[in-house]
Chain A
């Protein structure tokens, strides 16, 4: 059962049309790369597919049902470029994780999250360390699609390779569908089953 964006059109009020009749389908276990110049609407497409925005025209379907009709946890989750803006700066990471419903046993070890990090605040962790928490949070049972928007663009190559290795292991075990947004064509080539250009 797939995640489908059908004929999506979207405009921000001041900027004019960003997306025009765009369609994209994501199947479980698939890793689709999304690339294109700045301002082409890559992030906007992610926001539509994850339900943060509603399309002006067209629809987002999950298993053939409009995404907006799913109740409870949204099975489509985003992982953002700047993890420090995606977590509550006033919560210790332990509380951030429990707010998201807690994590499965073993997942923290699998993502190489050290127990000591749980008692820290976001400002006390590096971007790579924080991004692991965002991944752990997004891997709650019930999530089936992950939209990774320039998830490792701010990280050094070693941390980038570490994080992708960990996420791909998890994604394969759970048969998650991944949408991977990046400017880096060699990264997309490395990760994706197919690549779409906006």
Chain B
């Protein structure tokens, strides 16, 4: 079938609704990469096999990621006429029990996390059955507002019909059939959408420049080369809701006058590549991509390019060079890609999340979107909340929320009740902000002023067991390894900063090293060619600014206050606490621990490599880190 009109879309919508809300039992398993990593595939197989064996009439679906990664694998059960129940941390064994219960018509509450409300606004005062909270009442979800992740985990990502049933491709139809390109740009401009790749350039303005730029053909590129350690927002969107990106890209193409789009996906995201490839093929098959889309006269095609493994290819000029078949290296700007980009032609590059937002803006209007968030920082952003925090996962919040609401509210505070010391935002080139700044509202400007960046949305929480010097060294190590080496400051500077930081964590640093470190860091930030080098020193500069005392302890007292830096700590057994169980002795890879059974053990500091395995395994907490 070819979709030629809005009524054809309606036909597909009806089909999508019938699988989204079937009149028979439906079980959905979250099978994005995060779910698969925790064993969702085995859960899925067990559910299928058990249902077959028990001859249970069941519609089994693989969905994407709901964001609550810590609770994966997540399984949702929808029994007609009953509440939709979400089960957390599902195992194969529990899946077997679940099928047994379902076969008897029971909806167990054991292991259930929440009810997924089907109506947008549940009637006031109503309580779901079984005393379970609604999903949006869980602390993790209560402050979230899902726009970018609107369909993630709720629809089958391989079903274009389900995407359409959720209002998908309506915005594209509206743009192509009712609006001029100028009107589309105006809408996005008035919505106040800013680039969600991290720099926050107004999307509408970028489109406007490209629209006005002379030269044909024009191109539009989706940047899905997400590479920050600990960040996986783009991967999730591409895996869980690929059509939202395709629709956004097509609208962007229409707005700027491009007929060719590219989706550049990191090749280390095989499932994202597979899902987006499948989605593009399906959209082409239905005529939602290709020639004369919806008989509007507009042609648009999408090519998928798999990134070749360089972090710097997330930088737009390097990404363009990579698509052209050249080395993934940045070039000086100006000219900006909107004037001279791919093959020297006007090109718009937008992040996955930016494009996924566009259809919502077109559907609901600029005013609706602009009212979310704060002035100049409209809308929502997605963070991957990770590290030493109680609740980890993907979190979408309106801009303007404070870091405290994010970490203590959504994140539930520090892991195991420990006090949170700092948070690092914006990936490897972000800065570390101390707990005393947690009342800062999250916006592009406040984060930059505080010495960090919005970046693509990594948020790493740190507690007293995190050494800030070690953290700075880790991130500089990352940017050093990923620096392409083209410009002097980034190549030589990141390498030298890593050398200094290594000296410091090894207890060989001097107070002069701190001045030198800061001087080099400022130069790399100021003089580097591209965004990678210009932001790489942020972890160093922000930790020097907010955690100078930790640096001083390292260089002056040769002490690591967090007890992390191996050269500066010693492990010892507290005789009064040790019960002589021998576990540490057996686990020690260096054979450094000795002692008789049921008598206090000792550690030979000559042999000890300070790997801390004994510290982690000791059941009575008898191992002490001497700082």
Asked if A and B bind, the verdict is: no
Give me the interface of B with A, judged by CB distance under 8 Å: none
